[in-house]
Chains A and B, each alone.
Chain A
């Protein structure tokens, strides 16, 4: 297991958001983290990353992760694409990318191959990019460096259908090299990419297993995610 989360609890602003979450992420493929709005998906990722105080235990690549500073974890190969993108609005696209470079040999080819727009806009300040362009930039930042695990929070949010398929394809290709923990609302994307799924409800893990078992069983899907599994093609 590349990541083992055990009994993770988080309290924010007086409310007990995560109440003992446990799950594992296997060292290959994509694991989806699902659940309705406000259930604590983002909170889980940020707790793993050490951005918010949490109790319990988190094990990243065999080393305890809780309590270690975020930047150390990242340097050990834990990449993070946050939910609200968090591109640096005051910096240009090129500067955003330059900042993210950690390795000797950043992989600009893959990045510009996936997102040619970023190359054209390298001198535009990131704050004026359209929503979708910002998302691409956020993804590009983690793709530059070699990674051991990616935490990706809703990468397709706000993207046009064509871009969603492009991003999905990119994630699929990346998944051949690095495992991912993916938060995603678009079940079509989940179905296509994720091998395993973890469903959160009421601060706990409500279900954990192969994605097929979840999405292939309409009753279970409705039960856990509140929707029919037949996701209409756009």
Chain B
């Protein structure tokens, strides 16, 4: 016999969808939001039936613990069992390893919160349901006003570098000079770097920082007078991290992928009703949109991945964040972005909305 036979899915059984995300590990709370959003989105897109036509959508949720190797193992397992539609990837590391796997096995992959720009235009089989770094930076650019000297304060890591790249591409192309301070991700004292930032005297500081040391980092920037002397822009993370800004919070210019109160539309109301506590948060819209995209793809065909891709390319739909469009050339997800201010430790107020077109990354050719 053959050492291995892939199980084929029948054409009238349930529609199988696999969601691979972080249930445990350091990104578990992001993962939780994503999954909550996905469930709400699935109910919304199928009008609460959980069915497409007369076939039920059967979702398998798998943990990757934030480890790409485990995500790959889970994906192989699901693909081997005949799954044609995968979603998930809380972190960029997972997304960059799942995407090639989707292409080689010709299954649809709708990536989740992972923000890395590298995913856009990577291959035909990969889509994204969240924003990418480039869109963050486009949002930050609006704060620059007439200034022309920009400093990126970011960790010396792939995440930091991709932010520097994006700022150079977005803002640098507009004539401003872009410098960067690459801070070791393991740093425990930020005084030297804050001091360097102050000494550079930029018109705008773009801070890209995530992780457990954020609070100390903000305090150092504040104490060395960076916040007082220039415009500091940064992204708004999930609500649980807001207190981390500390005293710095109210003086920051925030760019937001999403926060509770940024929008008000039927999808948002459906999401708010579905999530625990009724308060929506950063990554729930990504899950919501992923479910909407998958339902649309599965409506086009339950088994033929090429037809699914065809249906998604150019697809425009109303979601939590407003109207989202899948750009046909490179599968970038065009979406509105938000600017906000903190008032107090736990309230963010919307100050401006950047339209989907204004925030759009330049179109790239599909690589594979």
A and B touch in the complex (CB under 8 A): no
Binding site for B on A (CB under 8 A): none
